[in-house]
Structure 1
């Protein structure tokens, strides 16, 4: 009988500040594996005890003080992928790869936090946007070398809303970082070269609005609903037929001391 594997991704925006919210997330989604981004925590201060108390016995973290950082929390064993690249040679803790001991065989899992890119969508004048485009070029080239590998999952805050209805206004956001044509095209190449399938849009039609992020700048975020879909789950083609369901947990945006991102979950039937 196939067994479910529930993988969730969440930009937690400080794992120590929002550690109590992991209990709420676990109660709502019961993930087998939870991938975090923007943990903002050096490894020596990672709140391992509190996370293990929730039942996540297998934990890997790659963090730094005050910025970036990724972590994978799992109820099933995994092996760390030590050989994955240091993107743009910056050592800025934006990617963690593991091989899960999943039902039916290993699953290669990658947790990414793509650079946001700053405010000006011009790499000639904005070093942050230049970094983002370089990062995307590197992961695309590397992903092409992994494309033939079976049973792959990629998740994370990819900081790009690629489709027209992944943003509240396609027309008004065309020149806003995260939805510019150059970023959307770069993400398209990443998906194409890596042979990735958008697991969430597998269930949700492209013409339906879908968001995972609402800005802190908008106090009444729920009423205006000016969101963007920045958080993604991709699977390799051999897992597309194993997709069982998806869930974007919008109620998390209203939690006390909420992140501006909400968790996204995909369930595979393995």
Structure 2
């Protein structure tokens, strides 16, 4: 059966719930992974999602900052969260989708929001950047992010790093800008290699082509300047490496009224 998964840093789920509804009505993914929900669990708009047909929810939220959630039309077999860097800042949630959802073999889905890292790419003077680097190191070391042979796993989210040359509008000008510095790129690639993850987005858009999922609010005309970055990612385990039949970046969402600075990414997996 096909499994359609979308991921989107929504930058406040309650503020932008109508944009989420617009996207869900148009795209109808089976599962939507959200980052930066900025919402404690007891205030999450469960009723609105239920009206849209998304009655299964796993979340890890806090007031005003961070937060991740997975909303689904399909039931979960299990849910889990974990913390990194000895902080309880709601940056990970995972679910297992299996027999109850019609899958013969279960699949685990991880949803991440990696720290942005602040503005100064020097861990000695910027604690936020030091936190980001430590977070990436702990992701690389996390055994549950190393899918065993044959394991069907998916990792999505705002990983806040644009690792490849054409994941940013100007490789040379971005080398000293947080999200594309060499140390960040090396650490994110190390996470990917440790788990032998397949970059599902770049399997459909060659590394030689520009690919963005984020455009700054600071741009007077984001579309005209097109100074984007690919901060949002979809990775799949080796067992699913040849099962991603399509990948779409909903660039138009950046132009919606009061948008997030990120746009949704959707993949279809032939499970």
TM-score (norm 1): 0.96
Alignment of 1:13-52 (within 5 A): 13-52=11-50
Residue 200 of structure 1: SS of its match in structure 2? helix
Equivalents in 1 of 2:235, 2:170: separation in Å? 24
Q: Is the 8 A contact 2:58 2:79 kept in 1?
A: no
Using the alignment, how far apart are the partners of 2:145 and 2:239 within structure 1? Answer: 17
RMSD: 1.2
1:145 Cα deviation after fit: 6.1
The 3-state SS of whatever aligns with 1:60 is: strand
Q: Could you tell me how far apart the structure 1 residues matched to 2:31 and 2:79 are?
A: 16
Contact 1:60 1:80 in 2 (8 A): no
Say if 1:269 and 1:77 are closer, same or farther in 2 by CA, change over 3 A.
same
**CA displacement 1:170-193 (0-9 Å, x = unmatched):** 000000000000000001110000
Deviation at residue 147 of structure 1 after TM alignment: 2.7
Q: Is the CA contact (8 Å cut-off) linking 2:199 and 2:236 kept in structure 1?
A: yes
Gaps of 5+ in 1: none
Residue equivalent to 2:141: 141
**What whole-Å deviation, never above 9, does each CA across 1:57-108 have from its counterpart, x for those lacking one?**
10111111110000000011113433x5311111000000110125232110
- For the Cα contact (< 8 Å) 1:143–1:193, is it kept in 2? no
* Residue among 52, 55, 58 paired with 1:54: 52
| Shift in alpha-carbon separation, 1:205–1:145, aligned structure 2, 3 A | closer
Say if 2:174 is the partner of 1:176.
Answer: no
| Consecutive aligned runs of 4 or more in structure 1 exceeding 4 Å deviation | none
Q: Which residue of 2 aligns with 1:229?
A: 230
Q: Offset at 1:156?
A: 0.1
Paired residues of 1:213 and 1:260 also in contact (CA < 8 A): yes
Q: How many residues align?
A: 267
Q: Contact 1:143–1:190 (CA<8 Å) still a contact in 2? A: no
Matched, 1:99 2:109: no
In structure 2, the gaps of 5 or more residues are none
Q: Distance in 2 between matches of 1:215 and 1:143?
A: 34
1:60-79 correspondence to structure 2 within 5 Å: 60-79=58-77
Q: What is the Cα deviation at residue 144 of structure 1?
A: 6.7
Q: Of the candidates 84, 87, 96, which is equivalent to residue 84 of structure 2? A: 87
Q: Helix, strand or coil: the match of 1:52? A: helix
Which residue of structure 2 aligns with residue 9 of structure 1? 7
What does 1:220-259 align with in structure 2 at a 5 Å threshold? 220-259=221-260
Q: Deviations over 1:110-141 (max 9, x none)?
A: 00000000001111110000000000011110
TM-score by length of 2: 0.96
SS of 1:188's equivalent?
helix
- For residues 68-217 of structure 1, the aligned pairs below 5 Å read 68-82=66-80, 84-101=81-98, 102=101, 103-143=103-143, 146-148=146-148, 150-217=151-218
Query: Bigger shift: 48-57 or 72-81?
Result: 72-81
8 Å contact from structure 2 (residues 204, 246) kept in 1: yes
Q: Contact (CA 8 Å) 1:81, 1:97: kept in 2 or not?
A: yes
